Amino acid sequence: MWRDAMLVAERDLRIEMRSKVALWQVVPFAILVLLLFAFALGPGPALLKESAPGLFWLALLFSSVLAAQRSLAIEGSDATRESTRLMGLDPAGIFLGKTLALTGELIALEIVLMAGVILLFHVVVGTWWLLVASLLVAALGLSAVSVLYGSLAGGARMRATLLPVLVLPILAPVLIAGARCFASAMANGPGLGGRWLSVLCVFAAVYLVLGIVLYGPMEES
Amino acid sequence: MRHTLDKLLGPVSVALVAITVWLGLFVTPPDAQQGDLVRLVYIHPALAWVALYVAFGMAAVCSLLYLWPRTRSMVFDRLAASAVEVGVVFTVLTLITGSIWGRPTWGVWWTWDARLTSTALLGVLFIGYLALRRVPAEPHIRARRCAVAALFAAVDVPIVHFSVVWWQTLHQGATVLNPNLTPTIHGLMAWTLLLSFVAFTLVFVWMVIARYRLETLREEGEDVELAEALVARRSEGVS
């Protein structure tokens, strides 16, 4: 399973490196969302700083849906799904590979967004370990849910509009816990951030297990 | 026998709702603290009961039965779809009636209370289920995807139920199904509340049966259309 996962992750990342869709479409979209939030709220630095945790996570969620669409489009194009099945790859390995590749892309996106909120919203982080841990775990959870629901959403024609409707309500706990972790990291001490981090860990673990178990049956068609 | 029951179910359930409304508006006394506002208790909890426990519970059970290889049948898929569709309607009605009660009581139409928020999220999750059903796919593939989506969404049902226990909420705790199972409502008010639960549950059953029939007819219609299209195509080849 792990060997297949590495193969699929390497393939997805290589395609991404060559096509640069994430670099030219997803990253600009994420920065644009940050700018639009600032336009909507006004230039007051106090309000932007106070709203930064929520704005960061909303920008990340919206951008992650785009990144997930791209990752799932790779699987749907040119009969890739049939090819991988004929190669005898373990479905759980395919799920894990796609999840790992998407996690890598989301971590890169998080770094860009983090730089954005520090520069644009004047955010000062006090507890870095909490912020970094929450972002890493959340990226894994976001990716697992997106890949799993992508297989549920089926045909590529409908997925573009259906995926956000299916995924965003499921990701509400990630948004809440992630924003709380971010706010705690901005404060001097971790506070209740540790508890919210454990929520993110449980969320990621549950959806990783569900994905490993259910991705195979979902992809049978 | 079955047709007689079917024919009776609609009028009986509507009549019971009418009796509930009559008892709730004109016979039961006003509350000592809430006054006439308490009369919403004869509608709102019953709607929530049907939406959360009956409809989405039924959808979860039917989805499990569909996924279980020994009981796999399209009957369960249709039943789950029908229950979700009616359940979403009841969820919206629950939120609307709760909002009407909240405005004079809390001073706002909506508050970010754990019970309200998790209920709204539940509604959106099941609207996603209905959207998923509209994705064109082979019936069994669609049924399997929808069954998994329904089970994921149903995880929110216990969260909604226990939200008033787990978090500090504005929404009051359970009146009947509280942790001690000691109802805090008595006399005619309790009987009217009980009647409202029966009435709205019967309305749900009536609507699900109608929706199930419609779904069956729609699937049969698709088969007939396909058969007719095949015949027409073959006749083109002959001529």
Distance between the two ends of chain B, CA-based, in angstroms?
Answer: 50
Answer yes or no: are the C-beta atoms of B28 and B188 closer than 8 Å: yes
Q: pTM score, two decimals?
A: 0.82
Percent with pLDDT over 90 in chain A: 29
- Domains contained in chain A, number: 1
* Contacts for B96 with CB less than 8 Å, ≥ 6 apart: none
Among the residue ranges A11-20, A45-54, A100-109, A122-131, the one predicted with the least confidence is A11-20
Q: Does A154 touch chain B (CB under 8 A)?
A: yes
How many Cβ atoms from other residues are within 10 Å of residue B210's Cβ? 15
Q: pLDDT of A104-159, one tens digit each?
A: 999 999 999 999 999 988 888 888 899 999 999 999 999 999 988 888 876 656 67
Q: pLDDT of B133-175, one tens digit each?
A: 888 788 888 898 899 899 988 888 888 888 777 777 777 766 6
Interchain contact, B124 vs A169, CB within 8 Å: yes
Among the residue ranges A129-143, B169-183, B196-210, the one predicted with the least confidence is B169-183
Long-range contacts of residues B48-51, Cβ cutoff 8 Å, at least 24 apart: B48/B90, B48/B94, B48/B98, B48/B119, B49/B197, B49/B200, B49/B201, B50/B87, B50/B90, B50/B200, B50/B201, B50/B203, B50/B204, B51/B87, B51/B88, B51/B90, B51/B91, B51/B93, B51/B94
Q: What is the residue range of A197's domain?
A: 2-219
Q: What are the distances in angstroms from CA B162 to CA A202, B16, B56, B168? A: 19, 30, 16, 11
Q: Does A153 touch chain B (CB under 8 A)?
A: yes
Which residue of chain B has the CA closest to A145?
A: B152
Q: Does B159 touch chain A (CB under 8 A)?
A: no
For an interface test with A, give the residue of B132, B157, B163 to mutate (most A CBs within 10 A). B132
Q: Does A152 touch chain B (CB under 8 A)?
A: yes
Chain A partners within 8 Å of B144 (Cβ) = 217-218
